Copies of this chain bind each other. A is one copy, B any other.
Amino acid sequence: MKINTFPRQGTRDLSPKEVNLRNYVMNTILQTYQKAGFLQIETPAMESMDFLASGQGGENEKLIFKILHRGEKLNLQKPDLQEHDVVDCGLRFDLTVPLTRFYANKKSELPNPFKVIQFGSVWRAERPQKGRFRQFVQCDIDIFGMESILAETELVLATSQALLNLGFRNFKVRINSRLLLENLAAECNFPSQSYGKVFILLDKLDKIGLDGVEKELLAENFAPDSVNKLIGIIKNLTAQKITVSEIKNALPNAPREVLEDLDFLLQTVQNQADNLFEICYDLSLVRGMGYYTGTIFEVEMADYGSSVGGGGRYDKMVGKMLKEDVPACGFSIGFERIIQILEEKNFQIPDQAPKIAFIYDGQKQTFSQILPEVKKLRAEGKMVLLDIRQKNLGKQLNRLAEQGCTDFCNYFLDKPLEIKALTKS
């Protein structure tokens, strides 16, 4: 039988070079978050379907990979068989939904507030397309148990520090609040039951422009006065860097505490940014997920034309698992997008340990002779690859340089050992 050796559609085999970069990025982000006092947890890949499909995951619930019952529980001959008869559990589609279960499960042992890091694979049955995978890594921080805007401030500071530590500059953190969005919709006299639809259309601003949003709102038969007022405010407030007093003018009934909080977030982060990145209001920022209840944010890298992370406050989600609501707020870095960008700009991992190719004749006797020297080099922190001498040394050295070796030594018996720099010719 001819066996297909490709990974399944939408999944990837990762080469050593790719894994190296991913490890570097993961460790850089992880260390930044740990320095900010966050603690890492892990949850399993499989969760029960009752829980995964309980309505918290929005559209993602349609993309769950479902796992079959096993043994006696699987009865395929049952009349009028339905999917839930054969399905036992599913693969997680994000890290936030399992986090709420973890928190509800372990609340009594956890510090309060709970500042938490999660790194892990998630699975979604998306239609495979360039840059979109069925298994990908998410990388989240969340704070549970803090009502104050200080939670959002810590999250934005930690995430922007992680991006700075990865060498990114001039990115832009856009902030808004679901409460301001609701006030904006009220100010324009949209009917309150259709706020959701208005926000979904407004969210398309990036893709279809203000004219496009206007057209689609009118096509949905919203009152032209409402549409005009909304478009006017957005146009006015995205043309330049806006201040909190400009928002106050445009939305005179906006809740004072919301504006004060947002302004604290903006000023505090700006003071810490050292002009290396920007933070700004964006009244048109919506973010897709339905569960946000307050502040929302997104990081944008203009050079790479896309969002590289985002998050916000979701104070009502844990309450669905526990009897009480618990304030919660999170920021997710788009790990796969960050990796793509770094690969596109041919990023070189800094400060890598030297890697020496120790070339010898492949004989047992020689192997035993060189071991003490090799052990010494490794104890000094160097990576040492034992490689057997090949006929064409030039070709061999090129291959070793490609594999990431920085130095080599060509071991002949009774010669003094010499380690030379390796450069690809």
Which A residues fall within an 8 A CB radius of B?
Answer: 1, 3-8, 11-16, 18-20, 23, 34-37, 39-48, 50-51, 54, 65-68, 70, 74, 76-77, 81-83, 86-87, 89, 91, 101-102, 104-106, 109, 111, 113, 115-116, 121, 123, 125, 134-135, 148-150, 153-154, 157, 264, 268, 271-272, 320-321, 353, 355, 362, 364, 367-368, 371, 375, 378, 381-388, 399, 403
Q: How far is the CB of A402 from chain B (nearest CB, A)?
A: 8
Interface residue from B19, B67, B70, B102 paired with A40 (Cβ < 8 Å): B19
A87 touches B68 (CB 8 A): yes
Residue among B47, B104, B111, B403 making CB contact with A403, cutoff 8 Å:
B111
Q: Which 3 A-B pairs have the closest CB atoms?
A: A37-B385, A11-B44, A16-B39
Q: Given the complex, which residues of B lie within 8 Å of A321, measured CB to CB?
A: 3, 5
Looking at chain A's contact residues, the main secondary structure is: mixed
Q: Quick check: B268 and A368 within 8 Å, CB to CB?
A: yes
Task: List residues of chain B with CB within 8 A of the CB of A67.
Answer: 65-68, 91
Chain B residues with Cβ below 8 Å from A134 are: 46
Shortest CB distance A344–B (Å): 20
User: Does the CB pair A111–B44 fall under 8 Å?
Assistant: no
22 interchain pairs, CB-CB under 8 A: A1-B54, A3-B51, A4-B48, A7-B105, A13-B43, A14-B42, A16-B116, A19-B39, A19-B41, A23-B40, A35-B384, A36-B385, A37-B386, A45-B121, A46-B65, A46-B134, A66-B67, A68-B87, A76-B82, A77-B81, A86-B86, A148-B362
Chain B's nearest CB lies how many Å from the CB of A115? 7
Known: A3-B54, A35-B384. A44 touches B264 (CB 8 A): no
Interface pair A125/B11, CB less than 8 Å apart? no
Asked if A8 and B135 sit within 8 Å, CB to CB, the answer is no
- Nearest CB in chain B to that of A272: its residue: B371
Contact B7 A149 (CB under 8 A): no
Query: Would you call B40 and A20 a contact (CB within 8 A)?
Result: yes
Are the CB atoms of A102 and B13 closer together than 8 Å? yes
Contact partners of A6 in chain B: CB under 8 A: 105
CB of A68 to closest CB in B, whole Å:
4
B residues less than 8 Å from A40 (CB atoms): 16, 19-20, 23
- The chain B residue with its CB closest to the CB of A403 is B111
Q: Are A7 and B44 in contact (CB under 8 A)?
A: yes
Nearest-Cβ distance from residue A275 to partner chain B, whole angstroms: 15
Whether A42 pairs with B19 at a CB distance below 8 angstroms is yes
A44 CA / B54 CA spacing, docked (Å): 27
Please tell me which one of the listed residues B66, B74, B355 contacts residue A83 in the complex, with CB atoms under 8 A apart.
Answer: B74
Most central of A11, A68, A106, A121 by chain B CB within 10 Å: A68
> Contact: A320 with B42, CB < 8 Å?
no
Chain B residues closer than 8 Å to A378, beta-carbon distance: 35-36
A37 near B384 (CB under 8 angstroms)? yes
Output the least CB separation between A278 and chain B (Å): 18
Measured CA separation A376–B77 after assembly (Å): 67
Query: CB-CB < 8 A to A3: which residues of B?
Result: 50-51, 54, 101, 104, 320-321
- Chain B residues closer than 8 Å to A4, beta-carbon distance: 48, 50-51
* Chain B neighbourhood of A383, CB < 8 A: 34-37
A384→B362 CA distance, assembly (Å)? 51
Contact (Cβ within 8 A) A364 B150: yes
Partner of A44, one of B12, B74, B320, B353: B12
Nearest chain B residue, comparing its CB with the CB of A320: B3
| Chain B residue nearest in CB terms to A11 | B44
Let me know if A268 and B371 touch, CB within 8 A: yes
Residues of chain B within 8 A (CB-CB) of A77 are: 81
Apart from A65-B70, A150-B362, 18 more pairs, CB < 8 Å:
A3-B321, A4-B51, A5-B321, A7-B47, A8-B89, A13-B106, A16-B39, A16-B40, A19-B40, A35-B384, A36-B378, A36-B385, A37-B384, A45-B121, A66-B67, A76-B81, A150-B367, A271-B371
